[in-house]
Homo-oligomer: A and B are copies of this chain.
């Protein structure tokens, strides 16, 4: 039985159950046992985090930045071993995905977080000398982070974007490892633990639990010792945690399901009809369709060219690789979602079935509906389908396209492909305005699946994509603000001010 990381020690859990991960390519259990913690573990982690938060308030910025750098170095050194473990647990490709893309991205995020700590812009210091009032952002307190199944490093609760942001603001993190890749999470946490020691931060700066009883997760989120929570995952899980946090007024940042509509306007199809189906299918199948920004829906206008476009999409999905999904429960959810979409008025043009071969596999799936049917059941036809599936909405005209755009539920992204010669511009501009209200990131002529770690990135959007449209989960230093509290100092003596507010 693997130990848990509490207050700087790897120690046995006060166990109420156990689980093991499986190999998604074979559905076979992997043999390693991980504990489901009882409340005593949760409570011990919260106590230790509270004390660590107080100690971290006194830590110089350089020490926190030093930890982030040291952790990134340790991940570089251990990358091969950790990526091999992640490949076993997730079936994501070792190369390029894990070794060449996700691990470097994760290391880069930690380094950018260190840089943000040293630069200090995230604090937004404001000094009003005349009034004697100063303000800046500071740490908010202990953070509980729930990582998702789909990015074992870059969004992992113990190494990903939320982790880096929460630490950068000076908060201790309690990481809840995702049950699909506990071994990967353990290896990451081991490096984080060593880096905490290397840099001399409080022992409980990084803690990790592998499993929680469902009610204990809700209980932790509403515990007065916790100051902030973040969650990346399914809508059901996110809403339950949000409800628990809201009741006690604890900020919680959620990244839940997102439809990510793509609009192909007639001129774009006329110009680039040969290339665009491939771009779309590539984006839909990226990570076996398990990206938060995967295009789950695309819209095109009824025409001969659109029919050919759909045929090409269908044929490329049919002939595309059928990857293994991350988990067995994900496979079941996907099957249910496809059934719900069909029931709501979507027809299957390609795929639609579980693949009977070893591992968690579902056919690459293309669904189709009309604009009219979509407008009759916009909620049901936006049922989350996390996997290699997408819904074509074929509208009659521009007006119907705009009506569909207005009914898009809060999403991370929204995209418009239009002609380069300007022929689509009037509609494109109207669509932009409608979509802007419903999405966090607008794109032109580009698929949404790439989420660059850029200071200008917004990985966020209106509910239910996230819990608040004013915050981003990716992009430093902006992502740090989620784990910060605004502190104002009115007539405070110079020696008692935070460094960034002194003369």
Segment with Cβ contacts to B, from A6-14, A183-191, A305-313, A441-449: A441-449
Task: Enumerate A476-494 residues with CB–CB distance to B below 8 Å.
Answer: 478, 481-482, 484-493
Residues B246 and A487 in contact, CB atoms below 8 Å apart: no
Contact of A464 among B249, B440, B448 (CB under 8 A): B249
Q: Chain B residue with minimal CB distance to A481?
A: B470
- Given A133-B454, A134-B456, A135-B456, A446–B490 Cβ distance below 8 Å? yes
How far apart are A123's CB and chain B's nearest CB, in angstroms? Answer: 12
Query: Could you pull out 13 A-B pairs where Cβ atoms are within 8 angstroms?
Result: A57-B436, A126-B456, A126-B478, A128-B456, A133-B454, A135-B457, A242-B249, A429-B496, A432-B496, A441-B489, A444-B496, A448-B490, A458-B488
Q: Is the CB of A443 within 8 A of B485?
A: no
Contact of A127 among B456, B458, B468, B472 (CB under 8 A): B456
**CB < 8 Å neighbour of A445 from B242, B445, B463, B491:** B491
Interface residues on A, range: 35 or more
The residue from B250, B410, B463, B487 contacting A442, defined by CB atoms under 8 A apart: B487
> Are A442 and B246 closer than 8 Å at their CB atoms?
no
List the B residue with the shortest CB-CB distance to A436: B487
The answer, yes or no, to whether A48 is at the interface (CB within 8 Å) is no
Say yes or no for A469: interface residue by CB 8 A criterion.
Answer: yes
- The reply to whether B462 and A428 form a contact with Cβ atoms under 8 Å apart is no
Q: Is the CB of B456 within 8 A of A485?
A: no
On whether the beta carbons of B135 and A469 are closer than 8 Å, the reply is no
Are B133 and A456 in contact, CB atoms less than 8 angstroms apart? yes
Provide the residues of chain B in CB contact with A413, threshold 8 Å.
490
Contacts of A428 in B (CB 8 A): 496
Given contacts A470-B484, A490-B441, contact A454 B131 (CB under 8 A): yes
Counting every copy of the chain, the complex holds 2
Contact B248 A246 (CB under 8 A): no
| Chain B min CB distance to A268 (Å) | 12
- Additional pairs, 20, CB under 8 Å, beyond known A428-B496, A440-B486: A128-B452, A128-B457, A133-B456, A135-B457, A135-B458, A140-B469, A246-B246, A248-B463, A249-B410, A413-B490, A429-B496, A432-B492, A440-B487, A443-B490, A444-B492, A458-B488, A460-B486, A470-B484, A470-B486, A472-B488
How far does the alpha carbon of A251 sit from the alpha carbon of B463 in the complex, in Å?
Answer: 9
For A472, the chain B residues whose CB sits under 8 A away are 135, 486, 488
Q: A437 at interface (Cβ–Cβ under 8 A)?
A: yes
**B residues near A441, Cβ cutoff 8 Å:** 488-490
